[in-house]
Structure 1
């Protein structure tokens, strides 16, 4: 079972203690565990909308797509590129924006096969995503929360993974140990290019993110992983579409054209960037 240990109250940042089926802080704030074992640490006052993050329907689509293992090469790329010195027994990993838990679950299985233990925590702003994740892998601490205000003490993790998510670098730096790593996984210029050509009249020029670097972090290595996969039904195509931003950005004509297809071969083009947390500068008087 997950431990749900060493977490902070999202209201006053004091330590949380597990008492039976609730997490409590000294100020009297209480957060009950759901039946499946996750805990919601996103207070109402920190929500920007009534139901933030992925909807229930989007989570179902994402589960259906990812369970077919089309994106397993991304898992392999993460593990093969993980700086060796930083992958050790007891490594503390946060998946910040973990969705329905596919990547953290698969990473856990792979590490177990290598006889490497890891303490894994998955956080997402969508309660639907975390509810689904908590049924997938009981050995992970699953949290509803926000990257903008991680409910954890300083130096809590050795590695923060942000896969196709919304990074908040100041919070990632705070939550990482002094020797901590950050992994950003993002779409490359040709990611799902065949799909985008159907959905849009023109393809926007690719602009790499964080080209000038990331404050508080030093780039260690960058890796590109490219592979192709086939979707063999209209249902599979729609599941993929509904888990991407294209669902809301594409034109009506583009979405209608996509409905005419029964299969499609797609390119996955993924960028992985590993960063090392910079040491704090000491001011000598």
Structure 2
């Protein structure tokens, strides 16, 4: 159930808009999503990843380069008997759609602060509910979900505790030490590797960790450009440096840490 982001009362769907008891109203967009991010919760005019980053990520993911990660997340979810799932920070919905295919009986909800990303997600997957909202003030009722998937997304632990049912599961994906190390080496004199300590999430018990490592071998510079453009390291390159790096067709290390937590 959606909650009104202004007064936290339940929202009811009336034809093409959601409305609460205080008559706050939120229209369903043509693509099927609802924007539940009021202006006072925005930290910029257009929060979230910019359109260039989003389009680059969409191009890269749709080409299948991170399919092993999508498969690994789905394999972790399938034994959990999930009926209600939230993809937190779902972006343009690449992983959300694959999770929905792997869990055909579950109700899947995707949320992201980027309106342009959610617009793409909703247009591509009409059977999934998507909304624009802040990860720190999520517009869902208490204990709404059996599982939350958080791939690289920021979050607030109090919101994770509030939204998950007792014994519900949180699955996180974070970068491992060797992740994209070749891109870092291209822009830094001294490379700092990602930490691989298991994060302590208050109110949750850590159940398992899977480390997923593989190499990306490119044949086309456009795929390298898409990868660089979709990560924050893109800002460290000039346009010429970016093109030169892509033209070299580097082999790129991928290193993901997948952690499963259970709510106490």
In the superposition, the TM-score normalised over structure 2's length comes to 0.94
* CA distance, structure 2, for counterparts of residue 226 and residue 194 of structure 1: 14
- Cα 1:260–1:10 change in 2 (3 A) is closer
8 Å Cα contact 1:224/1:271 also seen in 2: yes
Q: Which runs of 5+ in 2 are unaligned?
A: none
Structure 1 equivalent of residue 28 of structure 2:
33
SS of 1:82's equivalent in the other structure is: helix
Partners of 2:123 and 2:60 lie apart in 1 by 17
Which of residues 155, 171, 174 is equivalent to 2:159?
171
Partner residue of 1:188?
A: 176
Task: Go from structure 1 to structure 2 and tell me whether the alpha carbon gap of 1:209 and 1:47 turns closer, same or farther (over 3 Å shift).
Answer: farther
Which of 86, 89, 97 is 1:94 aligned to?
Answer: 86
Change over 3 Å in CA distance of 1:264–1:10 after alignment to 2:
same
Pairing 1:7–2:24 present: no
CA distance in 1, matches of 2:246, 2:53: 21
* Runs of 4+ displaced beyond 3 Å: 208-211, 251-260
Deviations 1:51-80 (A, max 9, x none): 100112211111100001110101111122
Matched with 2:140 is 152
Question: Which residue in 2 is equivalent to 1:59?
Answer: 54
Determine whether 1:105 maps to 2:106: no
Q: Which residue of 2 aligns with 1:283?
A: none
CA distance change for structure 1 residues 200 and 173 in 2, over 3 Å: closer, same or farther? Answer: same
**Aligned residue number for residue 226 of structure 2:** 239
Counterpart of 2:217 in structure 1 is 230
Q: Which residue is 1:120 aligned to?
A: 108
Unaligned runs of 5+ in 1: 1-5, 279-285
> Is the contact between residue 222 and residue 246 of structure 2 (CA under 8 Å) also seen in structure 1?
no
Q: Relative to 1, partners in 2 of residues 1:210 and 1:37: Cα closer, same or farther, differing over 3 Å?
A: same
Shift of the alpha carbon at 1:220?
A: 0.7
1:258 Cα deviation after fit: 4.2
RMSD (Å) for aligned C-alpha atoms? 1.8
In 2: Cα distance, 1:205 partner to 1:143 partner: 34
**CA 1:183/1:138 → structure 2, altered by over 3 Å: closer, same or farther?**
same
